Every structure is written in structure tokens, then in C-alpha cells.
Amino acid sequence: MSLTDEIAGKQIVLIVFPKAKYMNQLMEVVKAADAVSKKICYVSLNKPYNSIMDNLRKNNLNMGKYFFIDVLTSTVKTPILVDNCEFVQSPSALTDISLAFTKAVQEKGCDNVLFDAISTLTIYQDIGEIIKFTQNMMTKARVNNVKSVYIALKEDSAELVKDLTMFVDGVIELN
């Protein structure tokens, strides 16, 4: 079964891959999510909005199809506000990320949410907090009938992956 079929066939998916393959595998996941979505909320926990936009443009993806939640830009400068991005103060502001998620789904019409990469939060929060936060996001997604794709990097998150497995509809390991 292709990655696109896996994402299309399940509401909430956890995708795990090694750090060494991050850039290649990330674009594969983004393209698969793009193929099955009308509008994607891209929660960027690793790179600022401008970098993600450049990468998506290079891969010929339709920018009008994306709404972003950027947790990094505000940590280094005051962002220039744009319609297709919600800038959150910091990666540790989980409540703000949750509120931006709600806005993306209810106001911006996103039918799929991509978390790149949920394991990054282990730098800022303890595993228990991340699990509570992620379960809350998954519950919001289910209640709003929205698909969600969570990316976790294998080396960062063995415990996180083990705990999140019980909340998702499928785990895909890419090597």
C-alpha cells in the first residue's frame, strides 16, 4: 500500500523515520498528505514559515492549499503577519499551538493537519506533557472530522512513539 493510500485510509497516522532521511522522507509525506487533502494545516515545529514555503515551492506544491502554524519565527524576530500563517510565541506554548490548531480547522477550513515533527517538542517539554498535548490535538481532530499526520524522528522519540501508538489509527515506519 502506498503512503498516500495509508494516509487516505486512516484518520490519524503517526509516521516514524530516521533523522538521516528527514528531508527526503518529509517531502514524500507532505506530497502524500497534499494528494488527499483540500486544505492542509502545516504545524512547523522544526523550521520557520519562510523555509517551509520555499521547500514547498521547489516541489511545485500549491501554496494556496496550505495554512501554517509557525512556532519558531517569533523566537528570533517579530514576524510580518500574513493571512496563511499563525505565528505562535514559542515551541513550548502548547496552549497557543492548540488555539492555532482550532483556528486552522474551524476558521481556515483545514481538513488535514501535518505536525512536523511532534518529536521536536521533546526539546521543550517532558514526554508526559507532549503526550497530553498530542492526545488533545488528536481528540480535536476526531471531533472535527479532520485527518492528522504526525511525524516523529526515530532517534528522538522511542518512548513518545510507544505512547502515541495507542491514540493513532496507524503507525507507518519509513526506513
156 CB neighbour count, 10 Å cutoff: 18
Question: Measured between alpha carbons, how far is 97 from 105 in angstroms, rounded to an integer?
Answer: 12
The predicted structure's pLDDT at residue 54: 95
Query: Which triple of cell numbers denotes residue 17?
Result: 523515520
Model-level pTM?
0.95
159-165, long-range: CB within 8 Å, 24+ apart, which pairs?
159/127, 160/118, 160/119, 160/122, 160/127, 160/130, 160/131, 161/14, 161/16, 161/119, 163/127, 163/131, 164/14, 164/118, 164/131, 164/134, 165/14
Residue 175: per-residue pLDDT: 83
CATH superfamily of 3-173: P-loop containing nucleotide triphosphate hydrolases (3.40.50.300)
* The pLDDT value given to residue 156: 77
Which residues of the chain, if any, have pLDDT below 50?
A: none
